Every structure is written in structure tokens, then in C-alpha cells.
A and B are shown apart, each in its own frame.
Chain A
């Protein structure tokens, strides 16, 4: 950052037009809501939303505006006038980041080109082990399409949302720069790697049958996971995000056909519950710490983790504040290339402390539980961290073997043959029922323990194997050049987080309300819908006024539900009965976008 006059975010943003992608996801929802409420000076916010099979982009955005807790402050402030307020500021574009120029028609691109000042590309597939075909389309090609669109614009800067965890297996202090090598330190050509990933993603099923499709997808996932490991990335998500960063460096350069695009990369760490905006504790979907917390509330007590490793969490509103300041700095030509929005560099806390704070939060919560089991017993069972490679007495694999062994033993027992005939006739049926129940219990335990182990395997790189300290000097330097008003609203707040207060009073209650119900097959609370009318016509839509009644557009399509369930069943590997968040931005591990 150069030492010039203080940067006023409202002044820079006045009269600007922004395009935001990924608006159906957790992070971008909060970002758009905050832009709307804190920067009314902005001329227009264009939101890009993919249509689902049953709902078009407009209906999906209206559902967010009418019911999402992220928009609660807007509904509270504007009430019945919200529709008019949004109509004056929001322009909804139906599109798909996986298509060239986001699938926007040539007419729309031409219309946007002279108007856009920034493209804030937040859309991303945050599953840790997605189908690489989809990860390629959204995380890599989506970023390329964002750069292409920015290049078509007259002046738009590109603010690309990535993740701190693109660092992969590099350890220790991670600088704020795009790595020019793989995490294993070998030279790489991102364009060649893109071709490699495209080849991996091409693997097709032999037939149209569901099992063949599933098998082909598993082959693709296996190949991409192996490729990620070979390069030194922790999973497909960080691999594709890292690849996108490398490619953007070259794709944002000028050539004979396109202008140079100013590129700023925002790398959040693990995005968690809001500290203040839209309100304390809000979260959406199944994020990184949710499943861990869910396990901590069970009787499972031994977690593979290293106490001294850093645990880099960042509240979602701390990220959105920073993103707004960064966008303003980028528009003003005063931004750095990479911003790591994490806390480990300046306000660190460790895995050991995180797990301890979970203990204390659970203890506090269960002290007033209506369930006696929780109040009198479970709250006194604290979790402990254990080395992942040592098979201790309570490791899931050992318990799983025990459950299997017991089940096999039970199966080999013939109750009727072991008892005298008279006794067998009288108590035999009852004993058979007990035996049957025990077998079912052991089978369930076997299955659950397998899921727990797979969950640990997914999380292991983040809670056990690697210790990262993400430097965050750029965002702290930006904070210093903001003027007082901008610092108050958009300054860096990561250093002021009191982790005890955050975990116990914000994160735990937030996840308990907004995330854990999903893991238990229940619905988190949703805000009551308000009738909402957005007055200006949607781009290309001559019909004009759209009215959303309570519940309209509320239900997800079968396609969305099927996608969500498949995602949860295959990725989380824990019992669920509810859909997570929608498409891009859906979050097992909202690490970054």
C-alpha cells in the first residue's frame, strides 16, 4: 500500500456498479446484504444467480431477500419498502459461472461492459471431495470466465475469492503471494495442469445406469484426489482453488485481444459464524467446525489433533467487511495482489484451545439441558486430543473392529440350541429378540464409527497434519490507510476477537442453532417470509414486477434436494436428513468461498 491520503470506502464506492457471483452461498449473501445496508452510495449491485430446474434466478434471489436471515437487517430497516429499495439497487442476472462469460448473453455483456467497476467473484464449490468435473467447472473455469468478463469490461477490477488453504502442504508462515510452484515446491505450469485436470474430469461411465455413473464419479474423485496429493494439496477443493489462482495470474494479463485486468485475490481462512452482522451467531449450511462440534456433543471423546497447531477461524462478517474495503482499494488502484483474511498471523489460537473451548461451551450448554443424561453425565465428559497415527483404546477403527467381532460372535450363537428344551421354549423368543437388537445396535455402531473415521480422514489435514500461520499484513495495512469512518465500518476486526467469548457465546450457540439441526435431520429456523415486490424489470424480462408471497420460491426443487442429499451422504458421511445450502457456496468446510 502506498502512503497516500486516507481511503474513504463510501467515497470510492459512490456511483459504482459491482457484479457479485455466488449469491446463493453463505459468504456472498452476507456480502451483498452488507453492501446494501452499509453502502447506499453504490449505484447498482448486479447479482449473478444460476436458475434451478424449478426456479429462475429472480425467484431464488427473492427467496433470499424475503427469508434469509442474512437479509434480516434489511427487512428490519426497510420493512415494506425493501422491494423498492432493492429494485433501485439490485439487478438480477441469470447465469452460470461454469459457462463462458457466465452464460450472459452478448447483449448483457455489452450492457455491463461500460458500467461495471468490479467483479467480486465469490462462487465456489467448497466440498472437500466433489466430483472434479464440477470443481473444475466452478472453481477453475468459473474463475477464468470471471477474468474473461472483466477483460471485456472497460475498467472492472476482479476481486477473486480463494482460500488460505491453497497453500497445501507448505508449513509454517504462509506469505500473501501467489505461489509459483506446487505446494511440494516443484515448478508447475497452471495451464498445463488445467489440461491435466480436464483430462481427469473427462472419465465417463460405461452406461447410463445410476451405479455406473456413481462408479465413474468415484473414479474421477479418486484420480483427482491422487493428483492433488501428488502436487501437495490437501484435497480437490484446495487443488482447484490453487489452480485457479495460478491461471488467473496469466489470464489477467493483457494480450493483443484483451486489456489487462487488475486482479486481487482474497483468501479467507475457515469462515465461521457472524460476530455482529447480520446478527450474532448466524451461520448457514454445514461448515467446517459444525461436524466436529456435532461429534463433540456425542459420547465420542478422542479427536485426532495436535494441540499446538494453529486453528484459523474468521467470522463471516469480518471477511465481508474486509472484502468491501479490499474492493474499494482495488477500484482506487491501491490494493495488494493477495489478502489473507485469517487470524493465525496476528491473533492466533490453537487446536488445543479450540477443542478445550468446545468442551467448555458444551459444558455450559448442557448445564441447563432438559435431558438428564446431558445435564448430569455428558457435560462432564470432556474431549481430548490424540495423535492420529496411534491406535488408542477408543479410536474409531478399533471400536469398529470390536463391534464387528461382537456381532460375528453373536451371529454364531444359536440361543435355542444352547438352552435346555423347556427353557428354550419359555425364554428363547425373548432372548432371540435381545440378540437381534444387539446385532442391530452393533451393525449401526459399526456403520457410524466408519463414518466418524472417514470424517476424521477428511479433516485430518486441517486439524492434525499441518500447522499453518497465515500472514495477514496486507489487510492490517489496508486497515491503517482507511479513514476513521471507513475503519469503523470496514476495518480489520480479526485482532480484536476474544476467542473464549467467540467460541462460547457466538460460535457454539450459532452452530447449535443454524448448523447442527441439519446434521440431525432437522430444519434450522428460517425467518418468516415477507411479501416482496421488486419494481424494476429483470434484465431481458419485459414482464416487470415480481411478487413473492410468503412461501413462494421457498421450497427447493427436487433437483436441488437430490443434489444436496447426495452431497451430504457422500461427503459428510454422517447421518443427515436435511439439505445443506444451495449450489455454489454450499459448504462442508467453508474455507474461503
Chain B
């Protein structure tokens, strides 16, 4: 069996703000009217996520990304490319990159997990040499986004998901590493033998302290 290193992109690898990831796309819709009206939808999703943090993460994620309905596939690609080049690359954390490189050297299967769209993170996965990318995928029909995410929806990945992934890829979770940064990552972290939190939010910090998980803090920039 193989051992894997799971990296949540938001936090351990890339500095992120409090703005939901769909915001960038919504603010760059083709028409001004849609930019304004859809932004309110994304903000409502963010509110839902904050108000009920434990149970409704998937619903909030679905709701946030649903505001991309009608966006052209071309725009999705170009905005994703922009997001990668103009934001993700600039916010890359050097210590996180070193952790990925170390895991690869040590023979771990590297798995990147992100709530962003696969189109935006695929170049990062390629750059870091990740073996797997688990990201949200937008459904596209007739050249336009439907606003629906394809399964699995990456919001708050469960231990059940980790077990299924491990089984599919012949991974021994007990020998595996996982790096997370937000409360939503706690279930994934608790499913592996060696969890580690990186720049955690207040919820994950509390959980990490309760479970004696190592906490890494560094603001060195990549």
C-alpha cells in the first residue's frame, strides 16, 4: 500500500482571505447587472456558511458556485487562468511548497484538495508535481456553466470520503499525512494517521489543541 500526503490548498499552500472563491468569477461576469446580482448570491452563501458552520458547508458551496450559471465555458477558463496567474501564484506559501516537495521526496502520493475550480488549480498541481487533484468541477452544457457542481463537492470532506479515496488508490491512511487550515478540514485530518494544521482558523486551532495535532505557523512568502 502507498502512503499519501493530503494538502488542502487554501491555507497550507496558498494564503486566502475571507472572500468565497466564487467571488472572483462573479465579479467578472460579462454583464454589470449580473456582477451585482450574483455577488449578492455569493455573499448570502458566505453568510449561510458562517451561520451554520458544521452542517451546511456543502449547501453553502453549492449556493456560492450556482451564481456562475450562464457563464461561458471560455470565460470560466480564462478567469481560472487569471486567478491562478494573478492571485494563487502570488499567494503561494514557500513553507507549504517545501512540505509538498518533502512529501514527494519521502515517497508520499501527493493529493491537493481545494474548494476552487479544478481549472484554476490544475496548473498549480502540475507545477508542484501533485499526483492527484481533488477540486470542485463546474458542470458545462452547450458551452455554458449550469451553475451545478459535479460530485464530489469539495467543501467539508469527510472521513468517509478519505476512506473511499484511500481504497480507490490503495492508500494506507494510517501511514498518511494531512495538512489543513480551516474547521472544515477537521474530519479529513482526523481520518489520517499524521494530521497537521497550518495557519489554522480559530475553529481548527481549538480542535487541534484538543487532539494534540501539531500546529505550523509561518508567514514566509513564496
Contact = CB atoms under 8 A, between A and B. Distances in A.
Nearest to B71: A356
Contacts of B77: 500
Interface string A343-355: 0000000000100
B31 interface: yes
Contacts of A360: 74-75, 78
B31 A353 contact: no
A84 interface: no
Contacts of A380: 28
A500 B74 contact: yes
B31 to A, nearest CB: 6
A410 interface: no
A364 B72 contact: no
A367 interface: yes
B209 to A, nearest CB: 43
B34 to A, nearest CB: 10
A330 interface: no
Contact of A356 (B28, B30, B82, B86): B30
Contact of B74 (A353, A367, A384): A353
Contacts of A554: none
Contacts of B47: none
Interface string A381-408: 0101000000000000000000000000
Nearest to A382: B30
Contacts of A356: 30, 72, 74-75
A504 B74 CA distance: 10
A367 to B, nearest CB: 7
A34 interface: no
A297 interface: no
Nearest to B35: A380
Contacts of A382: 30-31
Contacts of B30: 356, 359, 382, 384
A181 to B, nearest CB: 35
Interface in A152-204: none
Identify whether the interface residues of B are mostly helix, strand, loop, or mixed.
Answer: helix
B71 to A, nearest CB: 10
B107 interface: no
Nearest to A379: B28
A35 interface: no
A551 to B, nearest CB: 42
A384 B29 CA distance: 11
A363 B78 contact: yes
Interface in A320-364: 353, 356-357, 359-360, 363-364
A380 B72 CA distance: 16
A359 B31 CA distance: 11
A64 B78 CA distance: 38
B152 interface: no
Given A359-B30, A382-B30, A384-B31, A353 B78 contact: no
Nearest to B78: A360
A504 B75 CA distance: 11
Q: Give the interface size bracket for B toward A.
A: 10 to 19
A367 B77 CA distance: 16
B214 interface: no
B143 interface: yes
Contacts of A363: 78
Contacts of A353: 72, 74, 143
Contacts of B86: 367
Interface string B66-89: 000000101101100010001000
B186 to A, nearest CB: 38
A367 B79 CA distance: 12
Nearest to A361: B78
Interface string A363-383: 110010000000000001010
Contacts of B78: 360, 363-364, 500, 504
A445 B55 CA distance: 58
B97 to A, nearest CB: 25
Interface string B86-105: 10000000000000000000
A112 B142 CA distance: 54
Contacts of A364: 78, 82
Most buried by B among A360, A380, A500: A360
A298 to B, nearest CB: 17
B154 to A, nearest CB: 25
B84 to A, nearest CB: 13
A364 B28 CA distance: 13
Interface string A479-515: 0000000000000000000001000100000000000
A353 B75 CA distance: 10
Nearest to A352: B72
Contacts of A384: 30-31
Nearest to A355: B30
A364 B75 CA distance: 11
Contacts of B143: 353
B202 to A, nearest CB: 35
Nearest to B27: A380
Nearest to B28: A380
A368 B164 CA distance: 45
Given A380-B28, A382-B30, A384-B30, A367 B82 contact: yes
A6 B75 CA distance: 43
A357 B31 contact: no
Interface in B98-137: none
B164 to A, nearest CB: 34
Interface string B14-35: 0000000000000010110000
Nearest to A500: B74
Contacts of A357: 74
27 contacts: A353-B72, A353-B74, A353-B143, A356-B30, A356-B72, A356-B74, A356-B75, A357-B74, A359-B30, A359-B75, A360-B74, A360-B75, A360-B78, A363-B78, A364-B78, A364-B82, A367-B82, A367-B86, A380-B28, A382-B30, A382-B31, A384-B30, A384-B31, A500-B74, A500-B77, A500-B78, A504-B78
Given A360-B78, A367-B86, 17 more contacts: A353-B72, A353-B74, A353-B143, A356-B30, A356-B72, A356-B74, A356-B75, A359-B30, A359-B75, A360-B75, A364-B78, A364-B82, A367-B82, A380-B28, A382-B30, A384-B30, A500-B77
Interface of A: 353, 356-357, 359-360, 363-364, 367, 380, 382, 384, 500, 504
The 8 closest A-B pairs by CB, nearest first: A360-B78, A382-B30, A356-B72, A500-B74, A356-B74, A357-B74, A360-B74, A384-B31
